[in-house]
């Protein structure tokens, strides 16, 4: 059976959502051109993908932010966005 372009794209996106842990989330955004170039340069400099760089930056900033939170603040922070 021949797949349509939409079916091929849907299959591709589904496969891309599965990382080494079997999970993943799609992030679709538009950023300023200079910021995009900065991400590409940083990723190249550190020998990682832009995806890996964004994941690392987000997790490091979250760790820095939550380090000083009380238990209740941390719970509230985590409950603020769950999906």
Query: 64 is in which domain, residue-wise?
Result: 5-80
pTM of the model: 0.73
Q: What's the pLDDT band for 20 if we cut at 50, 70, 90?
A: low
Query: Under a CB-based contact definition with an 8 Å cutoff, are residues 34 and 28 in contact?
Result: no
Q: What is the pLDDT of residue 27?
A: 85
pLDDT in tens, 57-81: 999 999 999 999 999 999 999 999 9
Of 28, 4, 26, 1, residue with least CA distance to 15: 26
| φ, ψ at 61 (rounded to 5°) | -65, -40
Structural domains counted in the chain: 1
Q: What's the pLDDT band for 19 if we cut at 50, 70, 90?
A: low
């Amino acid at each position: 059976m021949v797949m349509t372009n939409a079916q091929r794209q849907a299959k591709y996106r589904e496969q891309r959502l599965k990382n080494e842990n079997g999970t993943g989330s799609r992030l679709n955004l538009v950023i300023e051109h200079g910021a995009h170039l900065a991400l590409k340069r940083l990723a190249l400099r550190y020998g990682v993908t832009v995806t890996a760089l964004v994941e690392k930056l987000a997790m490091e900033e979250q760790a820095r932010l939550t380090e000083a939170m009380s238990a209740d603040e941390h719970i509230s922070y985590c409950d603020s966005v769950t999906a």
